[in-house]
């Protein structure tokens, strides 16, 4: 097995169903990853240590998903120079808006790249991590090009199907 380049972490194992989508995206591009649980609030020392040691383990990008107060991505970003992608997890009656605002509103100097709420965000986090890795890996860049081509073909097919089903 290849050494992981991306670390996918979440604040609770209840976030796994959503965060698996980031892993699926990374699988599509052949990028090895690790997946774990750590909490900004329940295990702050563990979270800080994880962030400080990630680069030394060969990690290039961290994807962090959390709901509610959603401070995980920001706490990790405070303890590493690696790029951190935050995935807001819907977990309250606010449908993830609380998580989105907690993840995106970072002070200057501690950036977190924030994606959409839930599964679409986790998928995009995986793709964004692949794009970051592709800056120094031509084989991943080629796979990303093929991914974009596949998306374009899908839209064209749907367009053709729709137009052929309409009365003339």
Integer angstrom CA distances of residue 84 from 6, 48, 65, 92, 165: 10, 13, 10, 24, 45
Mention every residue, 6+ apart, whose C-beta is less than 8 A from residue 93: none
pLDDT of residue 13: 96
pLDDT of residue 91: 85
pLDDT of residue 26: 99
Q: Is 4 helix (H, G, I), strand (E, B) or coil?
A: coil
Is 27 among the annotated ligand-binding positions? no
Integer angstrom CA distances of residue 109 from 30, 61, 79, 105, 122: 32, 17, 12, 12, 24
Burial class (CB in 10 A: 0-12, 13-18, 19+), 1: exposed
pLDDT tens-place string over residues 78-136: 999 999 999 999 987 799 999 999 999 999 999 999 999 999 999 999 999 999 999 99
Q: What are the extents of the domains in the chain?
A: 6-138
Please state, in angstroms and rounded to a whole number, the distance separating the CA atoms of residues 56 and 58. 5
pLDDT tens-place string over residues 38-81: 999 999 999 999 999 999 999 999 999 999 889 999 999 999 99
Distance of alpha carbon 37 from the chain centroid: 14
The residue-averaged pLDDT of 133-156 equals: 98
Is the entire prediction scored with pTM above 0.75? yes
The CATH number assigned to the domain with range 6-138 reads 3.40.50.1970
Is 139 among the annotated ligand-binding positions? no
Query: Which residues on neighbouring strands pair with residue 33, listed in sequence order?
Result: 6
Is 42 among the annotated ligand-binding positions? yes
Please state, in angstroms and rounded to a whole number, the distance separating the CA atoms of residues 105 and 112. 9
Count the helices and strands in the chain (H runs, E runs): 6, 5
- Indicate if the pLDDT at residue 1 is higher than 90: no
């Amino acid at each position: 097995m290849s050494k992981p380049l991306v670390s996918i972490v979440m604040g609770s194992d209840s976030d796994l169903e959503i965060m698996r989508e980031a892993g699926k995206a990374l699988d599509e591009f052949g990028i090895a990853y690790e997946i774990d649980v750590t909490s900004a609030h329940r295990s702050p020392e563990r979270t800080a240590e994880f962030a400080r040691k990630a680069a030394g383990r060969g990690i290039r990008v961290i994807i962090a998903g959390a709901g509610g107060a959603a401070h995980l991505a920001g706490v990790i970003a405070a303890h590493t120079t690696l790029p951190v992608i935050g995935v807001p997890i819907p977990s309250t009656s606010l449908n993830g808006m609380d998580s989105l605002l907690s993840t995106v509103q970072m002070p200057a100097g501690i950036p977190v790249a924030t994606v959409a709420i839930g599964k679409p965000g986790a998928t995009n986090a995986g793709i964004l991590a692949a794009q970051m890795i592709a800056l120094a890996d031509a084989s991943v860049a080629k796979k990303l090009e093929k991914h974009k081509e596949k998306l374009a073909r899908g839209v064209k097919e749907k367009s053709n199907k729709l137009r052929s089903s309409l009365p003339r």
